[in-house]
Structure 1
Amino acid sequence: MDEHEHRDQKQLEAQIEQYRHELQRLKTIESRYLAANAECERLREQQQAAAERSTLLGRAAAILASSFDYQATLAAMGQLVVSYLADYCIVDLIEEDRTVRRQIIANVEPRTLELAWEVERRYPFDPNALYGPPRVVRTRLPEIVPVVADWVVAVYAQDDGHLQLLRRFGLRSYLCVPLIAGEKTLGALTFVLAHTERHYNSADLTLAQQLAERAAQAIVNARLHRAEQTARAEAQAANRTKDEFLAALSHELRTPLNSIIGFSQLLRRGRFNPAAIARATEAIERNGRLQAQLIDDLLDVSCMLRGQIQLQRQNVDLKAIVENVLAVVRPEIRSRGLTLKTRIARQLPAVEGDPRRLRQIFWNLISNAIKFTPDGGSILVQLKSTDGHICLSVRDTGVGIEADFLPHLFEIFRQADGTATRRHGGLGLGLSLVRHLIELHGGKIEVESAGIDQGSCFTVRLPEIESQAKSCPIRLPAANPSALAGLRVLVVLEHAALAHTLQNALIAQGATVQPAASIQEAMDFIETFRPDILVSDVISRDNQSAGRFALVRKLDEREECFSAPDTELNTTSITRRLLFADFAIRMALPQQPDDLAREVMRLAGRPAPPLPGEQPHPQA
């Protein structure tokens, strides 16, 4: 090869190398361009997804804020979500009774909706399940399964039938987040993909949590609104009840007053024969008694509301009270053409209570039966002993009681019908007072009615004295009228038989004993009776804890007043501890009344006599 050809070859190779470098540069530029283009596309898609998420959140918030009917708004939100985030959207909410109930199932294919509810009916929410919404509700933590394999479905299924139903959905991806408002868990929000190749990721989890936050707040707002509406309705109802009561009270007061004033004016004019004067004075007296009874009822209700009704307890023959009241009302029953039937046991144990209040209870019940039974109807009064209780029932064929009103029957000032009230009279105080008096006697009252014009039956159960005594075997210390002479003991015992026996035991030792039926009554006696020792086991009514401590504070104003309130009923051991320095000794109430009587003697610094058959303790 000559020199010329060699030079040409070199130039050609240089050009080729130059072209190669240029091509490499162009490829690098192209690669960078493609990468930049891909990044732009990614950012564009990310921006679009963010915009879609923002739009979704905005639309969801608007839907949730559109109504206080959160079930409807959650359903609408579910339909919105299945158009973007899921094929199925499920809402489980915790009810007021702490049970979890599935509220909403939204999906893109309505034909599978029935299948979804069938699964819910056959396999309801299991709060102890290891996976799924139950676990999310329990732990308050989200749960995400990007790829739902068949083994995952098998683990979640409760049995083979459940597994077969779940497989029919073709689940691909699953996401569940808790509904939380503050410290309160409201339920769970579940999303499922089944008809797409897409799988849930961290961005979807964030979106789901944002939706759950808005849904939870909407639920809280709706429930607060519902509570406010309920409270408002109750306040309005209470205000109407007050107005109705005042109107009825005005009528009930005016009617006998008009009669009294009218007859008084006629008598002042004179010109009456003796028979007319007798009728006028009888009418004045009758209406005056009606006024007095009405005022007594109002005073009783006032005392009841303040917890100040006092019972003069003694052994009472309830049979005699019932027969006495029936003898009084029989003329009215005959004048109305009513039929009175009685089924009264020949022999009945006594009850412990206030005879005047027990008569008031039965008088109210039989008077209501007469008042609300139309002419020609019938009334059945039964009195018997069963299961350690005296059962008194009054059944009539009267106007009956609506099922909706039964739960409110014993509420003060509540009456079933304003028109009926005007027709029959009354203030709606009787039954609330009756229930309170029965509860003060340690009993209970029940009512049954099949509805309007089906009559009603009121049943009162009061504990027998014998049954109370059987549960507490009694041993009394030998009587010594000088052992506790001059000592004043205030006894506030809910256990009637124990109180009665303890009272007798202390009186036998010479103590002056004042029984009290309630904490409030005891506080009144503290001022007037000025006890040296207090014995109390009031453990249910009168707000026992606050009442007991209020009583102790009251006693604290006395320098020489010992207090022996209980800590446990029916314990065999007797414990003491200093409750207030230089003031009170607290002890557990023993099982035997004689033990308590002897402890009172020791507490007062008096020698306790031996029990019958027991040897005296040697003196130190």
Structure 2
Amino acid sequence: APAAVRGQERGQGLVLVVEGNPEMNRFLAESLAPECRVATAFDGREGLEAVRTLRPDVILTDIMMPTMGGDQFVRAIRADPEFDATPIVVLTANADEDLRVELLRAGAQDYLMKPFVAEEIRARLGNLMTLKRARDVLRETLASQGQDLAALAEEVSVRQRELTAANRAKDEFLSTLSHELRTPVTGVLAWLWMLRQGQLDAESTARAIETMDGSVRSLVRIIDDLLDVSRITRGQLRFELAPLSLVPIMQAAVDAVRPPADAKGIRLVTVMDPEVGLVRGDAGRLQQVASNLLANAIKFTPHGGRVELRLERRGSEARVMVSDTGVGIRREFLPRVFERFSQADASTTRDHGGLGLGLAIVRHLVEFHGGSVAAQSAGPNQGATFTVTLPLAGPPDAAIAASPPAPAEPAEAVSAPTLAGLRVLVVDDEADTREALQVLLEGAGAEVGGSASVADTLEVLRHWTPEVLVADIAMPSEDGYALLRQVRAREPAEGGDVPVLALTAYAGAEDRRRALTAGFQDYLAKPVDPPTLVRAIAKLAKDRRRAERGKRRRSDLPRDTRAKTILLVEDDPGTREYGRAVLEQSGYRVRTARSGEEGLRVWAAHRKEIDLVVTDLVMLPGRGGVKVWQTVHQQRADVPVIVLSGYPLVAEMLEAKNQGVVECLEKPVEPEHLAAAVRRALAQAEAR
């Protein structure tokens, strides 16, 4: 058996000495021990056992040994892949060059001729051990890097598969989008061609108009869905939160989808608990959630089926469930049903249409409201149920302004008023749009002018004064905001006070907020229903005429029967001008101030004639809004104060309520809401 290892600490390299002569074996071991650890063996077979057991760093072997010679020993070691790189040095007293060449070919790294000097053998073995250690480090490094490379290769492979799937989804989506856009456009083009050819009778013409109307509305829904997804991914979807009752919101959603349900003979059933309570949310977005779920159910339910909307309370949550008797959902697809662009398969898209966006939008809207949405289905042809859970806002008596907005009445159900004799100027750089609007408004009885730019509009105003101006916002060179500023810079006799309606393809909530804040009297998003546009123009004209009648009467009335005087304190120029226009159109006399300090000066000079104060809360320099309402309350407690704020500052508003403030309005404030708040405050003041 090989001798025990002897020599320096275990951190040193290990040399295996294989020498048949006991004296030479001992001499070699003693010579090497000061520099490294040493193990010994006395023939080739014993040496092989020691190699496998001890795994030495270097092997030093004699060529002439009993049982197994040195040359056989070298070949046996090199035959084992585990030790094919272990350095071997051969000792020989034979000067035969052919033998030395044969040993080197067999796998020996070096050889030494006997007799030798101990220092030489220590130096040679030391060099080999250094090389061995360097080789081991390199091998470990390569192995580690190989693992890293393998992991990297796997990650690249995963990413490649994901990219391939994403590209496939993109291609499928673009193909579906092309189909969804081209299908209604094809119908519109076909009907238009037949109309131009004069081939249609009255009944067919009516059908053509109805079909084209439905096709255009379908395109608008696609655009709206794409815009919503874009806003969601960029975090730009805006919400107007307030305590709401879900019952009228759900009913409005049901009413909106009733026509397509009736067209398929689908029975719409509603089961709603009127005492479900209030949620804090955006009424429009929550109606969108319900409408999307109902539209999805109707789309996947065959003719004569049933769709049910159920609203109930479960503990501290409101639950909305939409169930159908439709085609159902495969179990493996359920986890992906709320993913964007997700369709069960291509045939689903072909059979039922859609981009796979509606349910993804539902998930994002519900999660923003702090709720959750889930889908259940027993499988194909077993129908499906979608459940939305929303946290309740608290008991009704704890809510502020909890009354929900009434659902909008369909445009078709309300006849548009006449614009007979009304002068309207349409500003739009798109000639086709401008001409279509002019023809539409002329058909409603208006006298209509048109211009394509800000410069053209200002030129028109030199010789013709409209009663309402309808302006696009996105125009080359100068946009609608520049137009509004330049119109307002003119004298009233030159059209400077004409009400301006923004009609724009920028259809987001933030776009509406910006337009109203800048001073537009109203805002409509393209495409707009013609009756809606006509009604909006008629309302602006009516409000303006009422304001003008109030101005004409004001100077002839005794002080206590004149139009009320309002002090408006607001540092933002756009909001200030917007507020002034709204209040003046409502028949009030308005004094304005640009800061809290200026507001106090105006108040000091005119406090005997001021009937109401509207003041910003926190955007004024030095939070001057607080000082304004406190001063007004101290000096004339009979004057009501309305506070405006861009932030839901509950503590400040509660404090304000105790110091003469009758109402707190969050910006942006709709024109009708501001006017209504002023009317309420003045009526309450007169009743005291």
Scaled by the length of structure 1, the TM-score of the pair is 0.45
Greater relative CO (CA pairs within 8 A, separation 6+): 1
Greater Cα radius of gyration, structure 1 or 2: 2
